[in-house]
Amino acid sequence: MDKKVVMYTTPTCHFCHLAKDFFKTNNVAFEEYDVAVDQAKAREMVEKSGQMGVPVIMIDDQIIVGFDESGIRSALGL
């Protein structure tokens, strides 16, 4: 798979854990940024998505807010 997947998360976010499990189950490599400790990435997330809530998942240039499994599958072509 040649899509770049980036996920902005926090350690206590239930839906972030669901998304990580989904990616692992489907063998999707992803970069993860913990916006609870990385303020620069938190600002980047808000600039890109307009959202404060996590997870914010970027698949190439597509932004998915929350764990939207069907949207993620569609964006990944799964």
Number of domains forming the structure of the chain:
1
pLDDT digits (tens, 9 = 90+) for 6-26: 999 999 999 999 999 999 999
DSSP code per residue over 2-23: ---EEEEE-TT-HHHHHHHHHH
pLDDT digits (tens, 9 = 90+) for 61-76: 999 999 999 999 999 9
What's the alpha-carbon Rg for the chain, to the nearest Å? 11
Question: What rounded mean pLDDT belongs to the chain?
Answer: 96
pLDDT digits (tens, 9 = 90+) for 34-55: 999 999 999 999 999 999 999 9
Q: What is the pTM of this model?
A: 0.93
Residue-range definition of the domain harbouring residue 15 = 5-76
- CATH code (residue 25): 3.40.30.10
Q: Is the pLDDT reported for residue 1 higher than 90?
A: no
